[in-house]
Amino acid sequence: MRRRLLVAVAPLLMLLVLAVAIPVAGTVADRHTADLGSDRLGDGSRFTVAALTALAAEDDSSLQRLRAELDAYADLYDSPVWLVDREATVLHGTTGGAPPGSVEDSVQDVLAGQSPTLPARILPWSAATTHVVVPVGRDSQVIAALVIEAPTASVRTAVLREWGLIAALLTVPAALLVLGLWPLSRWLMRPVEDLELSAVAVARGDLDARAATASGPPELRGLGHTFNRMVESVSTTVQRQQEFLADASHQLRNPIASTRLAVENLQPHLEDDPVAEQTYLDAIDDVDRMTAVVEGLLAATRLQTRPAQVSRIDGALGSRERHWRSACDDAGMALVVAVSDAHRCVLEPTGGLAAAVDELVSNAVRLSGGSSVRVEGTSRPEGYRLAVVDDGHGLTADERGRATQRFWRSARVQNVTGTGLGLTILTQVLEDVGGRLVLEETPGGGLTVVLLLPPAEE
């Protein structure tokens, strides 16, 4: 979670750095460009005075001196210079030719009376030279234009050097800020992570889990205290309910056992009365049903006291195959176990995966009326599919829809020992960990009970 926070903050810091760096970098380039343009414009202004005097006087000696000064300037500053009249005739060029074609428009603008043309912003990747065009004359009295070519190497180097300095000045504080965010994010997010882990543990059935409240902002510590009080309240309520259910079930055992003993003591006094015999058998059956219900409630209480946990399929099932095979052999049924990808880790339902499969195999042996039981498991992208398949009489679609209701039993197995709570409990404990219990019809006849187990990484 802390890493996600830093990943979210880093782009914002980058945008902030860029928002500051880009305008500053532009300002630096503009300043150096203006300095270069100002220098060349000053030189050009000095030459234009001399050129205006020489051209107005039409004195050859003045023109010769002007050409000599322009040549000396070009050699000294490595800046070619051209003097162009209004007919675009080159009166003098230090390179011996015409000025570059890229400045023709600027020359025409200056000859038309516009202001001197200054160089565009110079950047590290700009051209090697730039140009300044200065009018010779003023307003409508412009009689020529002076074109000065200036090298940009020094400007580009200075701009690049200052950009590097700006980058360092902005990057170092940003890096220090990111480094400072790590302990800050740990202080902020650690309580949230602890709270999340505690909530997950509680959802899996571990009511002893508590959120850490020793560090973090006061608001998060307060949230942790509130969460812990809530879990304590829920834990106390659940514990009291389980204790009540266990105590009530234990307390009912003795009266039920006494009732059965009393009913059995009546058997010698029935005197071969068919009605009395039937009443006796019905009473014994009712007592057995009450005993089974009490035992089922006790089993459910024990099942709900164990929290869910992450387990491998083979580790969760252990050596239960021998128990299943023994139960099938006693019932004259064949057992086939085909569990693939048994190394897959899943979120084991409350009470244990082995207990869940034991219940399903027991149901298939006692209730299906078939000849074989198959335990099969396959890995799926969404989790693990573990199924118990029989080839018995199965259930209708309506019966499969009601089979997970409390105390529901098919009319065909009313006289078979059972409580009708097994599938209900399995459905609940699977849903608690994000899984599902699905009842399907076996192809060819029978019932398939599927346990869909969520992967451990979820």
pLDDT one digit per residue (tens) for the chain, 458 residues: 555 555 556 667 677 777 777 888 888 888 888 888 888 888 888 888 877 777 776 667 777 887 888 888 888 888 888 888 887 788 888 877 778 878 888 888 878 777 787 788 888 888 888 888 888 887 667 888 888 888 888 888 888 888 888 888 877 777 777 676 666 667 777 777 788 888 887 876 677 788 878 777 788 788 888 888 888 888 788 777 777 767 776 677 778 778 878 877 877 777 777 877 788 777 877 777 777 666 666 666 655 555 567 888 888 888 888 888 888 998 899 999 988 888 888 888 877 788 888 888 988 888 888 889 999 999 888 889 999 999 988 888 888 888 887 777 666 666 666 666 778 888 888 887 888 889 999 888 889 999 998 887 64
Q: Set out the domains of the chain in order of their start, with CATH numbers.
A: 2-159 (3.30.450.20), 204-306 (1.10.287.130), 308-458 (3.30.565.10)
In SS3 terms, 351-412 reads as CCHHHHHHHHHHHHHHHCCCCEEEEEEEEECCEEEEEEEECCCCCCHHHHHHCCCCCCCCHH
- What is the CB neighbour count within 10 angstroms for residue 63? 19
The pLDDT tens digits of the residues spanning 364-413 come to 888 888 889 999 999 888 889 999 999 988 888 888 888 887 777 666 66
The pTM of this model reads: 0.46
The tokens 């052999």 sit on which residue? 329
Q: What pLDDT, on a 0 to 100 scale, did the predictor assign at position 458?
A: 47
Question: What's residue 270's pLDDT?
Answer: 75
Tokens of 360: 């399903």
Q: What is the pLDDT of residue 411?
A: 60
CA–CA dist 373, 447 (Å, integer): 10
Total residue length of the chain: 458
Angle at 133 between CA 131 and CA 139, to 5 degrees: 165
SS3 at position 146: strand
Residue % of the chain over a pLDDT of 90: 5
